[in-house]
Amino acid sequence: MNETFKYIKRQIETLDIFKVVNEDRSHIKTLAKRFDDCDKVLVIGTGGSSLGGKCITSFSSMLSGSISKVTFLENIDSLHFSNVIKNCNPKSTGVIVISKSGKTTEQLMLLLTLYEIWKRFDWNTRALAITELSENNDLRLFAKSKKIPVIECASTIGGRFSVFSIVGLLPAILSGVDIDKFVNGAKRVMNNFLKAETVEKCELFRDIVSMYKVFKDGNVDQYVLMMYSDMLEEYGKWFVQLISESLGKSRNFGITPLRAIGTIDQHSMMQLFLAGPSNKFFTIVTQRNNLETPRINPDVDSNIINSLKNHNLNDLMISHQKATIETLKKKAAVRVLEFDQFDIENLGILMMTAFIEVISIAKFADINPFDQPAVEQAKMLVFEYLKQ
């Protein structure tokens, strides 16, 4: 345990996925200014190229109650693609395409299709391609041929770990996010971990050790992330990829992530959670204080309505949170991450916490959390079917 604790500290100090948090971000802010005159910005990406950025922008938009000018094109669903494009004015729209390898078929097809439709689009001043400096990079080849500026992303930072780099931060800043506050949340997690002299003094690592003990014998193999805020829905999708791609490497050890939104999924999944197989670990994310709404005082007399009188939405949410947590604790291992109030800095805390959790569990389980070799076979078959 002590050796793993020291190992994680070394990783935080040396890996680029952590070091990028302390880098200067002025170049990202400068790049964002290219799109100041755009009403919309289309971000073409999928998986790690989009999930992090979309998580931040969605969270921020819901927090502020504003509509982001950033729209993500992630899937090769032709109907959705067409509906998005027909609502864009090429003269006031920017385009950013993100692909680390430059070889992902979905991003390339979306970009090439858009190029076919927008023949007169100003690709030189209204578009950017973000990719690595690798050989045989199809995105880089196309971008250079069409005079689309190419911005390098670090080859040492995998997509699912790229949210604190330009991949996640550029879409975020275009949505009006204070990226410095977001990154400060991540720094707090890292610094607290590094400052802890022993395992006993590091609360996060003690949590991780307890989690691994729950998972290691194989009887518990599902990780339920239940979040009591609609703002965290996209965070849940990002979390699912992080767990699946980082830890899904062994027949002898695997964690299937499930995401749930409270209270919605109390009405769709709680029956399974409480009465189904005892193979689940729960992390419940809550906040003490939400936006205050009026306390209700209806003039109708009934048992349920009477119990709701003189309360507001937040009172009911907190009551549901407590009831769910206490009920689940009787059936499974439960961890609660409680925030005073959700803000952009706390989102940074959540995402960096997930990084350290995944890398630590991978170390305990003797897994490489940074590759995903199993998906290559399916990718190769795509080209065979295209030929057919």
Residue 189 is predicted with a pLDDT of 98
> How many CA atoms, within 13 angstroms, populate the side-chain half-sphere of residue 7?
12
pTM, to two decimals: 0.95
Q: Just give the CATH number of 2-179.
A: 3.40.50.10490
The per-residue pLDDT for range 73-96, each reduced to its tens digit, is: 999 999 999 999 999 999 999 999
Give the dihedral sign, CA 61/359/1/22. negative
State the sign of the Cα–Cα–Cα–Cα dihedral 217, 219, 223, 228: negative
Query: pLDDT value at position 342?
Result: 96
* pLDDT tens by residue, 200-254: 999 999 999 999 999 998 899 999 999 999 999 999 999 999 999 999 988 888 8
The domain ranges of the chain are 2-179, 212-364
pLDDT beyond 90 at 377: no
Per-residue pLDDT tens for 275-296?
Answer: 999 999 999 999 999 999 999 9
The reported pLDDT for the residue numbered 374 is 80
Residue 195's pLDDT band (boundaries 50, 70, 90)?
Answer: very high
Check residue 147 and give left, alpha or beta (phi > 0: left; psi -120 to 50: alpha). left
pLDDT at 252 (0 to 100)? 84
Q: What was the pLDDT predicted at 254? A: 87
Provide the pLDDT for residue 251.
85
Report the chain's terminal Cα–Cα distance, integer Å: 53
> DSSP letter at 71?
E
> What's the distance, CA 25 to chain centroid?
20
pLDDT average, residue stretch 24-39: 97
Give buried/exposed letters for 153-171 (b at 16+ CB in 10 A, else e): bbeebbbbbbbbbbbbbbb
> Which residues contact residue 110 at a Cβ distance below 8 angstroms, ignoring those fewer than 6 apart?
44, 73, 76, 81, 97
Q: How confident is the model at residue 171 (pLDDT cuts 50, 70, 90)?
A: very high
Per-chain mean pLDDT for the chain: 96
Q: Quote the pLDDT of residue 380.
A: 84
Q: Alpha helices, DSSP H only, in the chain? A: 2-14, 16-19, 26-32, 51-64, 78-86, 105-117, 123-126, 138-145, 166-174, 179-195, 203-215, 233-247, 270-275, 303-308, 313-329, 344-364, 376-387
CATH number among 3.40.50.10490, 1.20.1090.10, 1.10.357.10, 3.40.50.150, domain 212-364: 3.40.50.10490
> What pLDDT is stored for residue 73 in this prediction?
98
- CA dihedral sign of residues 215, 219, 223, 228: negative
Instruction: Place 376 in a pLDDT band, splitting at 50, 70 and 90.
Output: confident
Structure tokens at 337: 């991450």
pLDDT for 135: 84
Q: Do domains 2-179 and 212-364 have the same CATH topology?
A: yes
